[in-house]
């Protein structure tokens, strides 16, 4: 586990996230701080790794049904490395519930279901080409790559599965891989040893662990987790019964690309020689399906924004780490403008606090919104990041 324990949100299946202040100390997330998300028991396949096989099949001209072993993938294909953010679709779900005052269906993740890892493995494009898929991008439209893991029964289906568009899988810029390493070491059982899918720029539920079958299809994966979960339902859909009876699951697209998002992970007041002046240090992370171009912070509920300093960003797929320092005068104007909020506790003691908000803008021009609508499953929350500090 490492020196820092994860905060366990459920024991069976095991789901846990790291402390935020520890998480953002590291540009590349150490393995013991990478969140754990499971829909089944953790499977240890180390004793059978030498015979572990991924079956490739499907309906596409030229594609042959093949079985590729784990040693084949290690030895036959060029090693490909990519630094990419792994993010749960339910990241910040607890914030959605708190901000909207409405219950959400799912594990109450804080802001810690995100990480940044150096992955290594065989290129998915290379593997599919070796299986006979023609190198002809114009013919990929309308097809999907379905990933499946049959090694463990899941909570809601007999196996775990998900899919992405074939055009994304075959993109030379897409960096999709079958990974066997994270941060220079073999995957652990909890992170999908011996092989897991890595699709940079998409949410983590498409990064199927213990993958043992890849199918090219005209249809998305039929699996529960593609068809009846991980979709942003309209806010008028208030129950799973309603979603099923009114056919909402089939009317809403499956989530794929990461939304532009940021979080404030740590806010601290630092020393100031002037009693009426406060100095605030804030830091956090940001991510999107493309690089973050800037992060801004606000201490007046979004009326004005100042640009934060980006302190880490690597390649096209990593997360972004940022930090900012502010100096404010603690006076009546600050309280009048809502920069400082006065609260009184049950013992009559007065407390003053301020909240630092964050918003990100990515290189495609997407700007993180201040608010994010509620949805039943609490997925894809991308409202402004925020954290308070007593002043």
How far apart CA 64 and CA 74 sit, in angstroms, is 21
Mean pLDDT of 230-250: 97
Q: What confidence tens digit (pLDDT) does each residue in 30-39 have?
A: 999 999 999 9
Mean pLDDT of 172-195: 96
Under a CB-based contact definition with an 8 Å cutoff, are residues 232 and 252 in contact? yes
Q: Which two tokens stand for residue 333?
A: 């104007």
Which region holds residue 317: left if phi is over 0, alpha if psi is between -120 and 50, else beta? alpha
> What pTM value is reported for the model?
0.94
Output phi, psi for 70, to 5 deg: -60, -45
Q: Which domains does the chain have, with CATH numbers?
A: 7-240 (3.90.420.10), 261-390 (2.60.40.650)
| pLDDT(51) > 80 | yes
For the CA atoms of 125, 128, 132, 134, what is the dihedral angle to 10 degrees?
Answer: -40
Mean pLDDT of 5-21: 96
Under a CB-based contact definition with an 8 Å cutoff, are residues 52 and 45 in contact? yes
Confidence at residue 1, expressed as pLDDT on a 0 to 100 scale: 41
Q: How far is CA 109 from CA 3, 50, 192, 207, in A?
A: 21, 36, 21, 18
Match 């039929």 to its residue by tokens: 222
| pLDDT(358) > 80 | yes
Confidence at residue 310, expressed as pLDDT on a 0 to 100 scale: 98
| pLDDT(278) > 90 | no
Q: What is the mean pLDDT of the chain?
A: 93
Q: What confidence tens digit (pLDDT) does each residue in 114-161 have?
A: 999 999 999 999 999 999 999 987 799 999 999 999 998 899 999 999
| pLDDT(2) > 70 | no
Confidence at residue 354, expressed as pLDDT on a 0 to 100 scale: 85
Q: How far is CA 189 from CA 86, 87, 240, in A?
A: 17, 19, 32
**Which is higher by pLDDT, 330 or 207?**
207
| Residue 28 CB-density burial (10 A; 0-12 exposed, 13-18 middle, 19+ buried) | middle
**Which is higher by pLDDT, 370 or 341?**
370
Q: What confidence tens digit (pLDDT) does each residue in 102-127 have?
A: 999 999 999 999 999 999 999 999 99
| pLDDT(99) > 80 | yes
| pLDDT(333) > 70 | no
Mean pLDDT of 214-220: 97
Match 């002043």 to its residue by tokens: 391
Confidence at residue 275, expressed as pLDDT on a 0 to 100 scale: 65
How far apart CA 43 and CA 40 sit, in angstroms, is 9
Confidence at residue 134, expressed as pLDDT on a 0 to 100 scale: 92
């Amino acid at each position: 586990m490492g020196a820092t324990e994860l905060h366990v949100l459920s024991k069976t299946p095991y789901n846990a996230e790291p402390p935020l202040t520890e998480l953002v100390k590291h540009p590349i997330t150490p393995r013991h701080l990478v969140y754990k998300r499971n829909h089944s028991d953790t499977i240890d396949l180390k004793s059978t790794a030498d015979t572990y096989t991924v079956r490739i099949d499907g309906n596409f001209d030229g594609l042959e049904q093949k079985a590729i072993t784990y040693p084949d993938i290690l030895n036959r294909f060029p090693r490909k490395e990519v630094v990419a953010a792994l993010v749960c679709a339910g990241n910040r779900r607890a914030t959605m519930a708190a901000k909207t005052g409405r219950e959400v269906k799912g594990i109450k993740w804080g802001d810690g279901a995100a990480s940044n890892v150096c992955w290594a493995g065989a290129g998915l494009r290379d593997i599919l080409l070796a299986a006979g898929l023609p190198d002809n991008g114009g013919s990929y439209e309308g097809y999907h790559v379905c990933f499946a893991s049959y090694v463990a029964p899941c909570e809601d289906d007999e196996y775990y599965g998900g899919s992405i568009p074939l055009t994304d899988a075959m993109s030379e810029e897409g960096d999709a891989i079958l990974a066997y390493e994270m941060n220079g070491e073999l995957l652990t059982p909890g992170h999908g040893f011996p092989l897991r899918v890595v699709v940079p720029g998409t949410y983590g539920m498409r990064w199927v662990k213990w993958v043992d079958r890849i199918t090219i299809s005209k249809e998305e994966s039929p699996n529960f987790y593609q068809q009846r979960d991980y979709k942003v339902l309209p806010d008028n859909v208030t129950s799973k019964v309603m979603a099923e009876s009114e056919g909402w699951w089939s009317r809403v697209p499956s989530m794929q690309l990461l939304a532009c998002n940021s979080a404030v992970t740590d806010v601290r007041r630092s020393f100031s020689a002037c009693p009426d002046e406060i100095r605030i240090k804030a830091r956090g992370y940001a991510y999107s399906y493309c690089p973050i171009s800037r992060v801004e912070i606000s201490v007046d509920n979004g009326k004005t924004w100042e640009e934060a300093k980006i302190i880490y960003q690597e390649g096209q797929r990593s997360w972004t780490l940022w930090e900012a320092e502010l100096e404010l005068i603690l006076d009546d104007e600050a309280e009048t403008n809502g920069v400082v909020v006065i609260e009184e506790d049950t013992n009559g003691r007065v407390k003053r606090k301020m909240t630092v908000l964050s918003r990100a803008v990515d290189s495609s021009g997407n700007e993180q919104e201040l608010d994010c609508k509620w949805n039943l499953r609490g997925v894809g929350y991308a409202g402004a990041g925020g954290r308070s500090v007593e002043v």
